[in-house]
Structure 1
Amino acid sequence: MEKRSKKHDAILEASRKLFYRYGLRKVSVEDICKEANCSKMTFYKFFPNKVELAKTMLDRTFNYWLEKFWEVMRSEKPFADKMHLFLEMKASANADTSKDFMEDLYYSEDSVLKEYMSEWIGRSLKETIAMFTYAQEQGWMRKDLKPELMLYIMNRLIDSVRDDKLLNMYDSVQQLGREITKFFLYGVFDEK
């Protein structure tokens, strides 16, 4: 059982590394097996195909970051410090994410992956509204703002990451993402 767990984890880590760098479409099962130092037979013991592997890897990643965001939100730190931590965590989560990977996730023609991403986006939206509501209940954010409006504006800003003209103004997707997040949190004012 220990060996199985190590190989399973090695395949997940190899897929994360390769998918983030090259995207889902450009990475083959052979590439993953080579990176994980395992056979295709071992791969197929754990995963029926590359899409199911991607879903498992993304579940693990998304759940990890959701847990970390809630840990910060519920911590005793001042709200401004929490916002800074969120920026750092977001940058860390996307540090090695390529434009190809983002496009493959959000514009996939694979119906299984499309449905999967739709479900995760829905869950992410609910979690974000819950975090905004929690911040309002704690008195950290204005109570007169609808969390849904904040989410709507945030999503419109995130949509701009898909604009090639805007993306070309920055060195990386991550740099643009940080700029958008800072703009959402602080507007045109200096960070406090």
Structure 2
Amino acid sequence: MDGFQRRREQKKLNILEAALQLFMDFGVQKVSISDIAKKANVSQVTIYNYFESKHNLVNEVFLYYIDKASSNFEKVIHSDKPFPEKIKMIIFNKKEVASSINEEFYQYLMKEYSSEGNYIEKIYAEKAVPYLHLLFKEGKDQGYIDQNLSEEAMLFYIYMLKDYIQREDVYQKILPLTEDITNIFFYGIMGKERE
């Protein structure tokens, strides 16, 4: 990649990152192209040259956000941290996202998530499920997950939760419960300190 192409890609990344931060803070509707241009230190024309419309920019930010979340999840899974620390990092990240994401932007993401054949489904099938297999295996190998639990049962539970979350009447209410749901998934209803 030559210098021009590298600068062009960096400028696009700066726009996506600026838009994501603003959408996370204020939602999609309240953020203007002018706001994004100011934060990204580019002109509004530059944004339209890259994305053509705010609608296209929002879609690109959505894809960028999902890729970024997937990459962060992958880093945790492949880190050399002990299994309990990985679980804490995953839970903490979910908690941080839940407390920092704007409600309107979250609703947009979930509406996109609930459509058939969406990008999140693709990333989930291609990346998240294989990473979960690795995490389950590591948890069993280190004695943190009951050896008698089958991966099929654990994945079934995840799919069940995922399918339920995709319902519109559910995803509108789930944001404040993210931390509790994640804790129940990883620690059960008995909590962390089971003897």
Q: How would you bin the TM-score normalised by the shorter chain?
A: 0.7 to 0.9
The answer to whether 1:89 aligns with 2:90 is no
Q: Unaligned regions of 5+ residues in structure 2, if any?
A: none
How many Å apart are 1:149 and its aligned residue?
0.7
Question: How many residues get paired?
Answer: 179
Structure 2 length as normaliser, TM-score? 0.72
The answer to whether 1:75 aligns with 2:49 is no
Q: Deviations over 1:43-75 (max 9, x none)?
A: 122212223323333333322332232232233
Q: Which residue is 1:190 aligned to?
A: 191
The verdict on how the C-alpha distance between 1:51 and 1:121 changes in structure 2, with shifts beyond 3 A counting, is farther
User: Aligned runs of 1:13-92 on 2, under 5 Å?
Assistant: 13-92=17-96
Q: Which of 155, 163, 174 in structure 1 is aligned with 2:162?
A: 155
The answer to whether the 8 Å contact 2:107/2:171 transfers is: no
Q: Which residue is 1:121 aligned to?
A: 121
The answer to whether the 8 Å contact 2:51/2:57 transfers is: yes
The answer to whether the 8 Å contact 1:125/1:151 transfers is: no
How many Å apart are 1:16 and its aligned residue?
0.7
Letter aligned with residue 183 of structure 1: I
Q: Unaligned regions of 5+ residues in structure 1, if any?
A: 168-172
The verdict on how the C-alpha distance between 1:14 and 1:117 changes in structure 2, with shifts beyond 3 A counting, is farther
How many Å apart are 1:39 and its aligned residue?
2.3
Letter aligned with residue 70 of structure 1: E
Worse overlay, 69-78 or 137-146: 137-146
The answer to whether the 8 Å contact 2:27/2:104 transfers is: yes
Structure 1 length as normaliser, TM-score? 0.73
The verdict on how the C-alpha distance between 1:117 and 1:106 changes in structure 2, with shifts beyond 3 A counting, is farther
Secondary structure of the corresponding residue to residue 31 of structure 1: helix
